[in-house]
Amino acid sequence: MTDVPSRPADRVWLLHLSSSLPDAGTVARIHAAPAQHTLALTVVVAPDDEHIALVPAEKVPAGSLATVARRHVEQIAEMLLARLAEAPGPVVLAAVDRMTQLAAWQALNVHDDLIATNSLDSAIRVARLLERGETPDRVLHPPPFDVSLSVADAGLGPAASAVSTVTVSGRTPAVGEPWLALGDRDERGDLDVRTGSMSRRGAKAVASLAGTRRRVPATAERRLVIGPANYAGQGYEWARSVREHASGWTARNVHVAPASSRLAFQADLPLTAVQWADPATRVSLAVELLADSTDVLIEAMRPLLAVADASESVSAWDPRRGREDVEALRATGRRVALLFHGSEVRRPAHHLRLTPWSPFYRRENEDLTAQLEQVTERVHEAFMDFDGPILVSTPDLVDHVPNAVWLPGVVGPASFAPTRPALTESRPVVAHAPSNSALKGSECIDPVLRDLHRRKLIRYRRLHDLPSMMIPSMVAEVDVLVDQVVMGNPGVLAGQAMAAGRLVVAHLPEGVRRRMKPRSPIVEATPATLEDIMVSVVENREHYSRLAACGTEFARTHHDGRMSARVLTEAFGG
């Protein structure tokens, strides 16, 4: 998204795009939205089933509408872009179903002033922000802790009525003394900051924060902070699960991501690593997120505040800084637990002993293996003598972190949306969507699935770099997901596929399967057996369709957030 100049709020358009006719109440809400121009468009398929039109809801002909299919998406996107070209300013689009969302994603790639949402409620909220004078770029990429974009100041949540006092001194911290000291858990969350070791610019920026800082108070008895990794958006999902399923608790997460990250995941407080490294940002983070906290979950042994390093070059991935934060937070009386996601703690040599299909120490993966040996050694060293609770996001990691407790990943409600049964067609659609090809065994998976596609036994879709908002729609379009065949870990994508009733094929050693009760319906496959398994799936579609349907209930048990909220709160003694 490129920077755009500020535009008057009265030039905002709001479009509602759907594959079915919206009811009269919805149309009335669309036209009452705070925008210069509002339009409810419905995708209407022509009698030839090939051509489509985007018709205002008020002009849709009476009678039932033909089904909008994936083959129509390109036309929808082209017609949508033609409409967008008429807009004099920002456009807020509510694409409310699977096919219109696929079209919206294509339009987003070429239209800088488009803000796409998946519901009318979200679109109206965005329109209100634009009405207040915000630009599309600031709505999509807000600066950290920008008061004008906060939920409180938008009038959508409780007022920012609590305060913390930030005391700033120019002295240099003594050896072993933090530059940022957070008040005790049972106090009001005041901060003491020492700027003597900072750059001139950094010290001046922090000095500007001295005095009383307001914040939104958390009223729950237990107040959890999760961060800063948020891998696969799980930090956000765990926080949401605690808010929804744990009585007496609230939770928020922070995500510190590389500035060059290609994938964005939802977070309560998103930051780039460059933003986070600024000491002034970390002071604001302490006020906004940690001052009220009673419990803190540190992800991947990464620092939340880096209280021992006030430099602007501090690494957001340094496990030593993470451990220093752990001890500083514990010293204030806050309960602290650790959470590990995978590659940062999965030692390659130990993994090779657990499964003969391990991708490590193969010639083609020598550089990756060497890198992970160094990373995992530093992380293990950092938490070696930690005596608090430790959680892991996949059950295979219990083999790498003794005494750890499995915290299941969470898939959002969209993954459980009703869809057609899997494997009802003679030529099933099979997908592989690796987040890291080397760690998924893609070099073994791709040739098999491409050959089966060439033989017209399956339709193969190779997916990569999927935006998180698009994954439920994409998964619902396939019959089978081949997740991985070398690592032995069930990841978030497998959970999303099971929630949608898709058949999941992956390598899970018996020891990992025993940790999941009831037993996982994931079909076992390795590089040696994948082709035979896929041929069996094609030849026995009815059997595997029933197995795929079992995945939905398994996902509800493990991955809808209830179990995760229970595991989290129990880990903190809640």
Q: State pLDDT tens for residues 141-190.
A: 444 444 333 444 445 456 666 778 899 999 999 998 999 999 887 666 78
- Give residue 208's pLDDT: 84
At 260-300, the pLDDT tens digits run: 776 678 888 889 999 999 999 999 899 888 988 999 999 99
| Reported confidence tier of residue 134, pLDDT bands at 50, 70, 90 | confident
What is residue 386's three-state secondary structure?
Answer: coil
Give mean pLDDT, residues 114-142.
80
- Give residue 262's pLDDT: 64
Which of 9-18, 134-143, 208-217 has the least mean pLDDT?
134-143
Burial group, residue 95, by CB count within 10 angstroms (0-12, 13-18, 19+): buried
- Give residue 72's pLDDT: 94
Q: Where along the chain do its domains lie?
A: 13-140, 211-411+563-572, 413-559
| Reported confidence tier of residue 468, pLDDT bands at 50, 70, 90 | confident
Count CB neighbours of 420 within 10 A. Answer: 11
| Reported confidence tier of residue 5, pLDDT bands at 50, 70, 90 | very low
Is the pLDDT at 105 greater than 90? The verdict is no
Is the pLDDT at 421 greater than 60? The verdict is yes
- Give residue 148's pLDDT: 33
DSSP output for 257-296:
E-TT-S-----SEEEEHHHHHSHHHHHHHIIIIITT-SEE
Count CB neighbours of 104 within 10 A. Answer: 26
Give mean pLDDT, residues 363-372.
92
- Give residue 293's pLDDT: 92
The CATH fold assigned to 211-411+563-572 is Rossmann fold (3.40.50)
Rounded to whole angstroms, the Cα distance separating 323 from 301 reads: 7
Give mean pLDDT, residues 490-514.
94
At 55-92, the pLDDT tens digits run: 999 999 888 889 999 999 999 999 999 999 999 988 99
Is the pLDDT at 474 greater than 90? The verdict is no
Q: Which two tokens stand for residue 336?
A: 């602290």
- Give residue 163's pLDDT: 77
Is the pLDDT at 118 greater than 50? The verdict is yes
The CATH code belonging to domain 413-559 is 3.40.50.2000
DSSP 3-state helix, strand, coil percentages of the chain (rounded to 5)? 40, 20, 40
Question: For domain 13-140, which architecture applies?
Answer: 3-Layer(aba) Sandwich (3.40)
